[in-house]
């Protein structure tokens, strides 16, 4: 079944950093794929529809779906392997979950040792049905992480052709810079939304902008709280975003994505839905900008007080 995207709607591609890959401006997050209850053919159709919109980058982690999502994606990709050359596969490692899929894990913990990173990459490659990852991220900071060991492991994986670029996720500015001094990092994937604005004020985005590195952003819609959360901040933000969406004649979600993408560090937001309409809304955000006043109205609603 062919898919024709809305006329004129195509997600641009963007280089994450001087040392990074070219990713689509919007990245398709696959975290929940296991809950979408799609057949392999339906998964392939979704992938193709994303790519028709210019969303060619797909975000994974070894632990997603209780260690099952990468295999679900790989099963779909195997139906049309030629797509691999036109997409970018991102994965993450460094968390060990207690799971029937990993009977040797007795406690949930972090592991950024060379052995675990290497084994995780091998497993991800096998599950996805590919011989390389475009981008590998350390999923969470590990109190026992050894920056030199991680840097050496990254360098070996690159020399072996198994991973082309590297980054981190949920790292502080200092942690990012410590590892980036040892091996070039392409991105830091962090949580950000109008209901989670900490990276705007804790030096995370400032530091990345200074380094010329574009962050990736997970949970840009606050895990759905912007649509249905009952807390006071959610209610304030929802009302302001809806008014601006009406003014601009744009979908509600598109306004939120545009708000995030307007930050000077130029974040790449992740979607989290299996609905193509939700992907379309995210891509629409690449086509317009908010006025400075509109942008700050959303921030004021998020913080609950004047911002200047």
Q: How far apart are CA 117 and CA 120, in angstroms?
A: 5
**Coil vs helix vs strand at 213:** coil
In this structure, whether the domain defined by 13-303 belongs to CATH 3.20.20.100 is answered with: yes
Q: Where are the domains of the chain?
A: 13-303
Q: Are 89 and 58 in contact (CB under 8 A)?
A: yes
Cα–Cα distances in Å, from 156 out to 110, 151, 162, 218? 21, 9, 9, 28
Catalytic status, residue 64 = yes
Q: How far apart are CA 88 and CA 93, in angstroms?
A: 17
Q: How far apart are CA 149 and CA 145, in angstroms?
A: 8
Residue 2 is predicted with a pLDDT of 63
The single residue of 3, 64, 110, 132 carrying the catalytic annotation is 64
Phi, psi of 15 (to 5 degrees): -85, 130
Question: pTM score > 0.95 for this model?
Answer: yes
Query: Which residues partner with 28 through β-bridges?
Result: 58, 271
Residue 4 is predicted with a pLDDT of 73
Residue 18 is predicted with a pLDDT of 87
Place of tokens 């939700």: 278
Q: How far apart are CA 215 and CA 1, in angstroms?
A: 34
Residue 147 is predicted with a pLDDT of 98
Blockwise average pLDDT, block size 10, the chain, 308 residues = 76 92 98 97 98 98 98 98 98 97 96 98 98 98 98 98 98 98 98 98 98 98 88 93 98 98 98 97 98 98 92
Phi, psi of 125 (to 5 degrees): -60, -45
β-bridge pairing 268-271 and 188-191: unpaired
């Amino acid at each position: 079944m062919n898919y024709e995207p809305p006329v004129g709607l195509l997600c641009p591609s963007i280089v994450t950093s001087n040392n990074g890959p070219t990713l689509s401006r919007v990245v398709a997050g696959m975290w929940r794929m296991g809950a979408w209850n799609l057949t392999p053919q339906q998964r392939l159709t979704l992938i193709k529809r994303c790519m028709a919109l210019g969303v060619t980058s797909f975000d994974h982690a070894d632990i997603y779906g209780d260690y099952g999502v990468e295999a679900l994606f790989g099963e779909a990709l195997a139906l049309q392997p030629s797509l691999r050359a036109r997409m970018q596969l991102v994965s993450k490692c460094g968390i060990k979950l207690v799971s029937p899929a990993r009977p040797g894990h007795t406690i949930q913990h972090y592991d950024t040792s060379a052995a675990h990173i290497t084994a995780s990459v091998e497993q991800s490659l096998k599950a996805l049905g590919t011989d390389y990852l475009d981008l590998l991220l350390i999923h969470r900071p590990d109190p026992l992480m050894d920056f030199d060991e991680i840097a050496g492991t990254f360098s070996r994986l690159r020399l072996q052709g198994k991973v082309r670029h590297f980054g981190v996720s949920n790292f502080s500015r200092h942690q990012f810079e410590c590892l980036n001094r040892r091996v070039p990092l392409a991105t830091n994937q962090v949580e950000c939304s109008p209901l989670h604005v900490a990276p705007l004020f804790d030096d995370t985005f400032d530091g990345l902008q200074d380094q010329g590195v574009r962050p990736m952003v997970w949970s840009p819609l606050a895990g759905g709280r912007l649509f249905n959360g009952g807390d006071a901040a959610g209610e304030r933000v929802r009302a302001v975003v809806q008014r601006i969406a009406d003014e601009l004649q744009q979908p509600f979600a598109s306004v939120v994505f545009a708000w995030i993408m307007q930050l000077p560090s130029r974040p790449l937001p992740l979607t989290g839905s299996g609905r193509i309409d939700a992907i379309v809304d995210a891509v629409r955000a690449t086509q317009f900008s908010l006025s400075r006043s509109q942008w700050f109205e959303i921030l004021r609603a998020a913080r609950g007080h004047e911002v200047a």
